[in-house]
Amino acid sequence: MPELPEVETTRRGIEPHLSGRQLKDWVIRNAALRWPVKIPQALKGQQVLGVGRRAKYLLIQFDQGALIMHLGMSGSLRVLPADTPLLKHDHIDLLFDDGRVLRFNDPRRFGSIHWQPHPVMEHWLLCALGPEPLSDAFSGAYLKTTARRRKVAVKNFLMDAHVVVGVGNIYANEALFMAGIRPSLQAHRVTLASYERLASAVQEVLQQAIAMGGTTLRDFVNQDGQPGYFRQSLYVYGRSGQLCKVCETPLKGLRIGQRATVFCPKCQRSQGLRSYRC
Ligand SMILES: [Zn+2]
């Protein structure tokens, strides 16, 4: 599934090709994505002002509002000459005035496209989302305040889009390792100092993934939805039973909220109000 770093990499990849272009027309070969795709006729001839992102939604911005796109489980976007032969699952083309298309491919059709007039952030998909992890609003103090009376495991808390957006399972595992926090610890029991380490770790792991994605992504295609380029640098995710890269203790695996969770019993000892560092 494309995660926040892949979506941000896609945004950076397509924006220079779309910004300033006029939307001439579109072709909807299959409107049955996660929700039926409808694009208002009034968008014809409108200029793209930029491509933004909120959580894992791409925002193609126009004067009157934005097209809100989500890649779902398996979606990808490419910028191509309009006469490029179609591949299976090429469901939607947006045609621009330079003769190129933004082509949306999505085998599993969990992706979506919505039109939303200003204010765009009031769209029902966006209005209840927590802060962006790479913004100033996301900090250790914010996490500590938000975690008050929350008894869920800190890993679930971190993956809750009402708390912070875009921290998928891989990144939650990695950030908790880097911060030395046991993933099963109740959110309200994590200290402020630990949350400060965690906020920094989340930002570091996401920025690293974006940086790697930016250097390996070709044709703006997220080939298989797997962050393969990022995998070599992982400390814990997918490494249950293998040795910790820091202390060589065997890593342990468990499931928290149905999601694979891997941690180092030695490096991630942070329990209750006591806090350990590696
Ligand atoms: Zn360790």
Q: Average pLDDT for consecutive 10-residue bins of the chain (278 residues)?
A: 87 94 97 94 97 97 97 90 95 97 94 96 96 97 97 97 94 96 96 96 92 58 46 85 96 94 92 44
Cα–ligand 1 centroid distance for 264 (angstroms): 5
Residue 9 to residues 13, 67, 212: CA-CA distances in angstroms? 6, 18, 9
Cα–ligand 1 centroid distance for 164 (angstroms): 26
Q: CATH assignment of 140-263? A: 1.10.8.50
- Tokens read off for 216: 């390996």
Q: How far apart are CA 65 and CA 253, in angstroms?
A: 45
Cα–ligand 1 centroid distance for 221 (angstroms): 35
Domain range summary for the chain, segments of one domain joined by +: 4-122, 140-263
Cα–ligand 1 centroid distance for 245 (angstroms): 7
Q: Which amino acid is at 103?
A: R
Quick one: how far is CA 105 from the chain centroid? 18
Q: How far apart are CA 221 and CA 99, in angstroms?
A: 20
Cα–ligand 1 centroid distance for 161 (angstroms): 28
pLDDT at position 153: 97
Cα Rg of the chain (Å, integer): 20
Q: For the chain, what is the total number of helices (H) and then of strands (E)?
A: 6, 10
Q: Reduced to 3 states, what is the DSSP secondary structure of residue 151?
A: coil
| Within this chain, domains 4-122 and 140-263 share the same CATH topology | no
Q: Which amino acid is at 163?
A: V
Q: How far apart are CA 106 and CA 109, in angstroms?
A: 5
Hunting for tokens 């999601």 — which residue is that? 259
- Tokens read off for 259: 């999601």
Cα–ligand 1 centroid distance for 195 (angstroms): 19
Give, in degrees to the nearest 5, the angle at Cα 172 between 170 and 173.
Answer: 65
- 57 strand-pairing partners: 54, 70
Active site residues: 2-3, 56, 259
Q: How far apart are CA 125 and CA 114, in angstroms?
A: 10
Q: Which fold has domain 4-122?
A: N-terminal domain of MutM-like DNA repair proteins (3.20.190)
Nearest-CA neighbor of 239 among 273, 267, 220? 267
What phi and psi, each to the nearest 5 degrees, are found at residue 79? -105, 120
pLDDT at position 214: 55
pLDDT at position 232: 63
The beta-strand segments (E) located in 167-245 are none
How many CB atoms neighbour CB 94 within 10 A? 26
Cα–ligand 1 centroid distance for 267 (angstroms): 4
pLDDT at position 209: 87
